[in-house]
Amino acid sequence: MSVETIAETLLEKLKSIAKIETVIGEPIHSGESTVVPVSRISVGMGMAGHTGKGDTASSGGGLRIDPVAFLVLKGDDIKILPVDKARSALSKIADITPDVVAFILNNISKKTKNSQEETSK
């Protein structure tokens, strides 16, 4: 198979994968709201060939689809909810931080109280 044939086949397949329906997903209806997923597509490919005594050709490629955000539509209101892995981790840390600080302060006050009781004996 020639490099040109491989390239044409590969590009046709990529066109079918990287269509708008892949980036903007199917709407999901729930009650009065509609949620539309939005994704990012990354494609990488390489081809090589040699014409001569024996024609050789090879190709390789990869595809990655990452969720980026969700559009939430409710009536005339539209919200964009980003999918940010780093922000999600920070949000979780921020959510538990008050509990962690309270736990640490509670333990410090207990240790201080215990050491004061021991020194007064």
Nearest alpha carbon to residue 6 among 19, 18, 14: 14
Say what the pLDDT of residue 1 is: 63
Token pair for 34: 């509609």
Kindly list the averaged pLDDT for each block of 10 residues, start to end, along the chain of length 121.
Answer: 75 75 83 88 78 75 83 88 66 58 63 64 61
Say what the pLDDT of residue 81 is: 85
Say what the pLDDT of residue 43 is: 78
Token pair for 61: 């490629």
pTM, entire model: 0.51
C-alpha–C-alpha distance, residues 48 and 50, integer Å: 7
Q: What is the DSSP letter of 24?
A: B
* DSSP β-bridge partners for residue 61: 45
Say what the pLDDT of residue 115 is: 62
